[in-house]
Structure 1
């Protein structure tokens, strides 16, 4: 890649390398992978730099959201349980969503929590 191209990408914020003490750019492996993707999108797909910037931004957002989903998944699994009264008064049992607890002489109770946002 031409040095002028790298400087332009730096100015646009597409790839911001670390700087050496003398001011030279120092590209990480992640930066190089991003540069290759920018080159591919530009040359093979014909996408302009504004479009590439948007794609890179959305890609970072998707990565963050996927990590957030994985972090929150255990909470969702716990929240998908439904509590109902058990065979003995005052004792609760857990049933999975979509299943029914056994009725206990008309004293069945189901606690439902809506999804929080």
Structure 2
């Protein structure tokens, strides 16, 4: 299913409730609690998308596990944060790969260069110098 179709709001509240296996009043409660934000028609009627139905399924899973609605809301917020951070990480990885390709094209040989990563309180930083062999010198700093 295309992303546009997944997010197209087409279901009236009674149909969405039936598809989700809940009472229409439950959908209104979820909306008041901020768990669900259905689209509205010009006349103010709610319209639900397949994305909303997927969210309702996730809410049902979490409530079946014993979470109250406040807990469900927190889990959904955290899942959204994780998704955003993953997207940022993917972007950073692509930028890093692009930069390394540029450096390689300009004669830099990354060889065994490893990105700086925290190890306890110390961080190992690699300093590279340009040249025929591209010497890489590890430098460790605490802090």
**Interval of TM-score (by shorter of Structure 1 and Structure 2):** 0.5 to 0.7
2:74 match = 54
In structure 2, the CA distance between the partners of 1:97 and 1:80, relative to structure 1 (3 Å rule), is: farther
After TM superposition, give the deviation of residue 74 of structure 1 in Å. Answer: 2.7
In structure 1, distance between residues paired with 2:80 and 2:31: 17
After TM superposition, give the deviation of residue 39 of structure 1 in Å. Answer: 1.3
Does residue 68 of structure 1 match 2:84?
Answer: no
Cα RMSD for the two superposed structures: 3.2
After TM superposition, give the deviation of residue 41 of structure 1 in Å. Answer: 1.1
In structure 2, distance between residues paired with 1:10 and 1:74: 37
Structure 2 residue corresponding to 1:40, chosen from 50, 55, 61: 61
Does residue 96 of structure 1 match 2:120?
Answer: no
Does residue 7 of structure 1 match 2:28?
Answer: yes
1:87 match = none
In structure 1, distance between residues paired with 2:50 and 2:56: 10
- Unaligned segments of structure 2, at least 5 residues: 1-21, 115-127
Q: How many residues align?
A: 97
After TM superposition, give the deviation of residue 56 of structure 1 in Å. Answer: 0.5
- Equivalent positions of 1:13-24 (< 5 A) are 13-24=34-45
TM-score computed with the length of structure 1 as normaliser:
0.67
TM-score computed with the length of structure 2 as normaliser:
0.56
In structure 1, distance between residues paired with 2:138 and 2:47: 55
